[in-house]
Structure formats: structure tokens, C-alpha cells
Structure 1
């Protein structure tokens, strides 16, 4: 018995070591960027000669960086709105028992998550070139909607898997119209799933760079594209400052998504009780 316990403890310890080493290997390059954003000198070197906030000041004072930030926010907001509406409607339709060719439609809707981004970017480029949507924020919003909607479809479909369809039948028997039942019964219950999908769509749009390189012009540069251009042209610690802000931003969003998912699980358990 003692031998078995010792062996189990060794296995558990080994798993913790391997898991911790893997996490450290993945996180270390990201964490290494953060101190460099406070470097007093314009070099990516350790040890740093001093600390300074000059690169953050340069980011907030630069017209180029602020234009990129504004474009990213505008595109992400409108792409999130469109992705959430279209993705939620698609998920509701796919959740119906009488939906024809459900598996085929699901595969088509989530294909932007599976197809390599560069392949999707080439297709979007040629499609938008034919209708004059290149070099415009409208084209960028529509392209990011295509990339973000599948995340909404997946999260809302998962939320609907625990939704009791008998509630909709009960509402219909009491005289509620289908649209009224959706807005007053279904959406409040699956709201955490919809919010999680919206956050995923926002982060997807805000961090996307490949499609932006293909279809955005100089006046439509987003923050990730400006960072890409900065790496190629003039490698400055300002990029490290922007990267640090994006790390904080992404961490907060992921924490919010985790909170919403836990809330959805609690609601699901309450519903079954």
C-alpha cells in the first residue's frame, strides 16, 4: 500500500513538473516583453540600464499609433455587433430539431475557424476587390465579422444545448409569438453564452493582423498591423509597450469569459434543478 501511494505521489509530482515546465515555456516569451516596455534605452537588452515610461508616453502621444488604436476599436465594436447578431441567429436556427442539413450548415458556418487565416484572407481579398471594399473600414468590419461569427455560433450553440425547449412551447401555448418568446425567454437564459461569444468575436477582431494586411490601406491600419509594420521598419520599445497593454487587455477579457462561462454553468444547474 505504501509503495502504491509513493508511486502515485511521484506520478502526480511528475505531472506537475511537466505541466509547470510547459506553462513556463509558453508564458516566458510573453512575460519577457513586459519589462522591456519600461526600458529607459531604445534597445531590447537585459539587464536594462534604467526604467522609464517614455514608450507609453510615445504611444499615447503618437498620431499614428492613436489612429491605429481608434481603427481597431471601431472595427472591433461593429464586427462584434454583427458577429453576435448573425451568430446568435444561426445558432438558434441550428438548434431547432427540424433544421435541414444541420451538420452541413454547421460545418460551413464554422469553417473560418478551421481554414488557415491566410487562405481566408486571400479569398476575402479577391471577393472584396470585385465589389470595391478594399482599403475601407467597412470592408475590414465585414471581414472580421466573417472571422468572429463562428465563435458566437459555437458558444451560443453550447448554451442552447442546456436550454429547455419546453419553455418555448409553454410560451407559445400562452399566446406568445415566436419572436417575443425568443427575446423574453430564450435570450435572457442564454445571455452568458451570447456574451462569451461576443467577447471572443471582439478579441478575434482586435488581435487580427493577416486579413488587415491584405485588405486595409494606410488610413485603415489597425493596432496589430501597425505593430507588424513597426517590427519590419523601426524596431522600437513602443511596440513592447503596446504589446504589454494588449497582454493586460487580453487577460482581462479571458477572465471575463471564464466568469461568464461559470455563470452559464450555474444557470444550467439551476435550470435542471
Structure 2
């Protein structure tokens, strides 16, 4: 009876693994399909039949429109990350130790951009920023992207705060450490992997965002996703597949980095000792 149950469990695990592999292939293969399209030496979106070519990657590097769009996306994403990361970290710390009934309402407001359709958020930003003169400029786009990236930072940092030993903070305070010293020399090192992972998600959110940028950005703030969108609408070129391939690679690397940081944070919480604290 036990042998039959063991075989049934092994068969069930194999079936589950196979089913998960099929779902993963269904989700990933369409994304990976752009890679061979980007290596096509011709001028149309077809799978290469003969030799492979880096022609369209060279086009991305040499084209002023593509390089300008990439530079805009990079600058806006960096600015968004630098603003959203400290704000989200402080918000997560405050929410983690809040005992008020208003906590649920505050969490709902912060995470609203994750629930509300992005086109509704984009229209709301447009009507809010237009009277303030923030449309067609980098400031409005950075503020909007910060609002979109903030929930990711709050969620990731808040998760890193779970299970944190509060006795470390109390011990630091009892030894004479000031609140800012406790924050920067005790709490921040313990949740540093979570903060870094939140920064990665904030960067990705801004760098890949399209809908809000279409409403807020001006001609000089054309980002890489907008350039790809315009390319698909006006003239389909394999250069779009090359740009999409680079985005897939960058997203994979950043997601892998965020996962490594998350695991490092878990190991630090499980095996860390109290850091050295100065008054």
C-alpha cells in the first residue's frame, strides 16, 4: 500500500511539474520569439532563413531617434528611482509600525495605481497636471512615474520588515542611539536588500511605462517605449524587435537581481546579529 502511494505521489509531482512547464512555455515563448526576429538581415519582420545579422542592433546605436529615446528613458527612470525609493522606504517603515485604523485606508491609497487601470491613471494625471503646466515636460513625467513606482517599493520593503526583530531597535535606543542613528545604522542595513530590490522594481516600472508617458510626455521627452509604439503604428521595422530584445534581457537581469537581493535579505534576517551601534 505504501509503495502504491509513493508511486502515486511521484506521478502527481511529475504531472504537476509538466503542467507548470507548459504554462511557463505558454507565457515565455511568445516573448522569446522576438529574439530571432531581431537577428533578421532583411527589412521585414520574418524569421531569418539564412545567416543571422546584427544589422538592426547597429541601427539602434546609430539612429538619433532611438538613442535619444533611450537616454530619456534612462534619465527619467533614474530620477524616478532616486525619488520613489526613499519615499517608499519611509512609508513602508511607517506602515509596518502603525497601529491606527487609518492604516488600511493609507495602504489602499498608496497601492491604488496597481488596481486602477493605467489608462484611467494616465487621464487623471493629464487633467491634474495640465492646469499646473506639468504636461509636455520632464517634471510631470517623473512625478507620475514616481506615483506608479511607489507602491512597488512600499510592498517590497514592507515584506522585508516582516519578521524583523524589534528588540534590535529597542536595544540600540537603550544604548543611547538617536532615532536617526537607529534608522541608518541598525534598521537600514537589515532591510538594505529589500530597499535595493524596491529600487530595481521602481526603475523597471518607469523604464517600461508607456501609457502615462503618451499623455504626459512632450516631443522632447519621447521615451523608448513611446518610440517603439510609434514605430509599430507608423512603420513596422525589425529595429523594434531588436529594442524589444534588449528590454527583455534588461528586465530578466533586473528581476534576477531583485530575487537575489530578496534571498540575501532573508538570509540576513535569519542569521544576522545586531550591528555595531554608535550613539
Cα deviation per residue 1:30-63 (whole Å; 9 max; x = unaligned)? 1111011110101122353432111001000000
What are the equivalent positions in structure 2 for 1:1-273 lying under 5 Å apart? 1=1, 2-99=3-100, 101-271=102-272
Do the aligned partners of 1:40 and 1:48 also contact (CA within 8 Å) in 2?
no
Query: Secondary structure, in 3 states, of the residue corresponding to 1:90?
Result: helix
- Aligned mates of 2:48, 2:68 — CA distance in 1: 33
Superposed displacement of residue 228, structure 1: 0.6
Cα deviation per residue 1:5-45 (whole Å; 9 max; x = unaligned)? 33333322222221111111111111111011110101122
Superposed displacement of residue 271, structure 1: 3.8
- Aligned mates of 2:4, 2:185 — CA distance in 1: 60
Superposed displacement of residue 267, structure 1: 0.8
Query: Secondary structure, in 3 states, of the residue corresponding to 2:130?
Result: helix
TM-score (norm 1): 0.95
Superposed displacement of residue 99, structure 1: 4.7
- Aligned mates of 1:271, 1:211 — CA distance in 2: 42
- Aligned mates of 2:157, 2:7 — CA distance in 1: 45
Do the aligned partners of 1:93 and 1:99 also contact (CA within 8 Å) in 2?
no
- The 1:59/1:135 distance shift into structure 2, 3 A limit, reads same
Superposed displacement of residue 113, structure 1: 1.3
For structure 1, list consecutive stretches of 5 or more residues without a partner in the other structure: none
Do the aligned partners of 1:38 and 1:53 also contact (CA within 8 Å) in 2?
yes
- Aligned mates of 2:181, 2:14 — CA distance in 1: 55
Query: Secondary structure, in 3 states, of the residue corresponding to 1:130?
Result: coil
Superposed displacement of residue 97, structure 1: 4.1
Do the aligned partners of 1:79 and 1:141 also contact (CA within 8 Å) in 2?
yes
Cα deviation per residue 1:175-196 (whole Å; 9 max; x = unaligned)? 2221121011110111001011
- Aligned mates of 2:143, 2:45 — CA distance in 1: 37
The CA RMSD measured in Å over matched residues stands at 1.6
- Aligned mates of 1:248, 1:97 — CA distance in 2: 39
Query: Secondary structure, in 3 states, of the residue corresponding to 2:19?
Result: helix
- Aligned mates of 2:93, 2:244 — CA distance in 1: 37
Do the aligned partners of 2:40 and 2:47 also contact (CA within 8 Å) in 1?
no
- Aligned mates of 1:272, 1:175 — CA distance in 2: 19
- Aligned mates of 1:152, 1:140 — CA distance in 2: 18
- Aligned mates of 2:131, 2:163 — CA distance in 1: 43
- Aligned mates of 2:182, 2:17 — CA distance in 1: 49
Q: Give the count of matched residue pairs.
A: 273
Query: Secondary structure, in 3 states, of the residue corresponding to 2:12?
Result: helix
- Aligned mates of 1:143, 1:242 — CA distance in 2: 24
